[in-house]
Amino acid sequence: MSAVTPRATTAVTTRVLTQLRRDHRTLAMLLVLPCALMSLLWWMFDGLPGDGFSSLGPALLALIPFIIMFLVTSVTTLRERTSGTLERLLAMPMGKLDFLLGYAIAFGLVAALQSALAVGVCVWLLDLTIVGSVWMLMVVAVVDAVLGTALGLFVSAFARTEFQAVQFMPAVVIPQILLCGLFVPRDALPRVLEVISDLLPLSYAVDAMQTVAATNETGDVWRDIGLVAAYAVVALALGALTLRRQSP
Amino acid sequence: MPIIHHMMKNVVSVRSLAVTRDGNEVLRGLDFEVAPGQVTGLLGPSGCGKTTLMRSLVGVQRLTSGSVEVLGSPAGSASLRDQIGYVTQQASVYDDLTVTENLRFFARILGLGNERVSECVDLVALGEHRDRVVSHLSGGQRSRVSLAVALLGQPSLLVLDEPTVGLDPVLRVELWQTFHALADAGAAVLVSSHVMDEASRCDRLLLMREGRLIADDTPAGLLGNTGADDIESAFLALVQQEASA
């Protein structure tokens, strides 16, 4: 695989962001929807005893960027594959890694903005209790979004239409949501499911969010972030394998 | 494989090229050269393998057997990636970007500046539309954006898959003039078409049918050899000769 050329990587990042800026509706949904969903969660627990919002909120902050970036990326790259632009780029002096990193950086930046807004709304408007650092929360959200982007890039290789690409969301994402410890604590799951849950990256992202929210501990959080990042790197590498300069 | 002495003279050199896709023999043993400084026309009915052949030259098609050399290297080599301009039938550009934004993006990938972007916009006569989003352009205008992208790097080999489909006649004449200007500047230009009347605009013709080349000649030579009045009749005459042989 060719080395990374910053020129080509930033060209891809700039282009993806320009496309996104032109699509006002998508941009508005990317930024407003997470805040609206967090507010909905807060409202559900308003008037109930205990602090349900603070116990579920951090997990949701981990799930949202992952789900949204997974969807956005899988559809965008599928479009890139079917429109012939990907083939054109790969016939040019364009590294596969440049292409993937360009996307990851663009959506990582969007995720940072998205999470900053959602975290801001939660902490300052909705009184979400965060014992640890708010910055740490943001780092987890961005790494999580990059993971969603990387997985989205990878699965788009297995879809021929946008309908199929969207179907990968329930297949790849919902099992992770069910097993991440949100519904049943992970150590209380049947043994087989616990092992599976230990293998799924979203479990660590949710762990990290919950640890930041509840404690001042940073060691565990960095370990979780490292694991999620490692999964993202593996997914990007697998994504690179699906970018073929030649087709049969 | 024997060393071909005139290899460097030709931009493309194809030997016994065969491609099978999904069990279909799309290309069945082709041999030909493409020379620089000429516009070579690749003519044949829809489905005869023109696009697969062009993809093989560009290096995006996996070959079943045989070889394709471009500028002395196997097609698809990394060294060729900034030497070939390829325009597919479908305009491979971003619909949600403007003409200029599309060109600037591809120019940055090639390491080119904005002056070259303006030059290419003018070459395909899209100056008035440079700041319009591609999805708002007509089909013909979109394919010209795609052509402009292919021209950016001043490629030694330009491969154009049906570039004049759906264009108005005035523009078609202009585009053929552009192709000849590029050839005069030293490029090898390969243009495919299923419209036989475009053949007379080429310096040389490759006629293709069912994955084989049935003729490789100048337009005048082809008419002379078959005694036909136009390229369409020449094509029919060649098919009949083949059938009776």
Question: Within 10 Å of residue B83's Cβ, how many Cβ atoms?
Answer: 18
* pLDDT > 90: percent of chain B: 64
**DSSP-assigned letters across all residues of A55-120:** HHHHHHHHHHHHHHHHHHHHHHHHHHHHTSHHHHHHTSS--HHHHHHHHHHHHHHHHHHHHHHHHH
The answer, yes or no, to whether residue B8 has pLDDT greater than 70, is: no
pLDDT for res B2? 43
pLDDT for res B174? 84
Q: Closest Cα to residue A77, out of A180, A155, A174? A: A155
* pLDDT > 70: percent of chain B: 96
Q: Predicted confidence band at B57 (pLDDT cuts at 50, 70, 90)?
A: very high
Written as six digits, the tokens of B230 are 């136009």
Name the B residues in 101-120 with CB < 8 Å from any A CB: 101, 105-106, 108-111
pLDDT for res A51? 82
Q: Closest Cα to residue B164, out of B120, B134, B201, B136? A: B201
Q: Is A24 on the interface with B (CB under 8 A)?
A: no
pLDDT for res A218? 87
pLDDT for res B7? 42
Q: Which helix (H) or strand (E) holds B207?
A: strand B204-209
Alpha helices in chain A (DSSP H): 6-22, 24-45, 52-82, 85-90, 96-120, 134-155, 162-172, 174-179, 191-199, 201-214, 219-242
- In this predicted model, what pLDDT tens digit does every residue of B112-143 receive, in sequence order? 999 999 999 998 889 999 999 999 998 888 98
Interface touch B96/A83, C-beta < 8 Å? no
Written as six digits, the tokens of A144 are 């999580």
Pairing of strands B12-21, B24-34: antiparallel
B94–chain A nearest CA distance, Å: 7
Chain A hits for B101, CB-CB cut-off 8 Å, are 15, 18
Q: Select the residue from A87, A92, A96, A101 to test the B interface by mutation, using most B Cβ atoms within 10 A.
A: A92
The answer, yes or no, to whether residue B155 has pLDDT greater than 90, is: yes
Written as six digits, the tokens of A21 are 């800026």
Rounded average pLDDT over A3-31: 90
pLDDT for res B48? 92
- Cα separation, B191 vs B176, in Å, equals 10
Q: Which helix (H) or strand (E) holds B149?
A: helix B139-151
Angle at B91 between CA A16 and CA B57, to 5 degrees: 105
Written as six digits, the tokens of A86 are 């990907």
A76–chain B nearest CA distance, Å: 11
Rounded average pLDDT over B56-85: 92
pLDDT for res B4? 44
Pairing of strands B73-74, B204-209: unpaired
| Residue partners of B118: CB distance under 8 A and separation at least 6 | none
Are residues A137 and A61 in contact, defined by beta-carbon separation less than 8 angstroms?
A: yes
The answer, yes or no, to whether residue B28 has pLDDT greater than 80, is: yes
pLDDT for res A2? 52
The answer, yes or no, to whether residue A117 has pLDDT greater than 70, is: yes
Are residues A29 and A117 in contact, defined by beta-carbon separation less than 8 angstroms?
A: no
Q: Is A183 on the interface with B (CB under 8 A)?
A: no
Are residues B42 and B50 in contact, defined by beta-carbon separation less than 8 angstroms?
A: yes
Are residues B145 and B102 in contact, defined by beta-carbon separation less than 8 angstroms?
A: yes
pLDDT for res A3? 64
pLDDT for res B208? 93
Are residues A26 and A32 in contact, defined by beta-carbon separation less than 8 angstroms?
A: no
Interface touch B59/A87, C-beta < 8 Å? no
The answer, yes or no, to whether residue A17 has pLDDT greater than 90, is: yes
Are residues A48 and A127 in contact, defined by beta-carbon separation less than 8 angstroms?
A: no
Q: Closest Cα to residue B94, out of B103, B82, B107? A: B103
pLDDT for res B31? 95
- Cα separation, B90 vs B48, in Å, equals 18
pLDDT for res B5? 42
Are residues A81 and A156 in contact, defined by beta-carbon separation less than 8 angstroms?
A: yes
pTM for the predicted model, two decimal places = 0.87
pLDDT for res A145? 87
The answer, yes or no, to whether residue A159 has pLDDT greater than 60, is: yes
pLDDT for res A43? 93
Helix (H, G, I), strand (E, B) or coil at B216: strand
Q: Mark A191-224 as b/e (b = at least 16 C-beta within 10 Å).
A: eeebeebeebbbbbbbbbbbbbbeeeeeeebeeb
Interface touch A92/B92, C-beta < 8 Å? no
Q: In what order do the strands lie in the sheet with B73-74?
A: B24-34, B12-21, B65-70, B73-74
**DSSP state, A197?**
H
Q: Predicted confidence band at B213 (pLDDT cuts at 50, 70, 90)?
A: very high
Alpha helices in B19-138 (DSSP H): 50-58, 99-110, 114-123
The answer, yes or no, to whether residue B29 has pLDDT greater than 90, is: yes
Q: Is B219 on the interface with A (CB under 8 A)?
A: no
Q: Closest Cα to residue A58, out of A145, A142, A123? A: A123
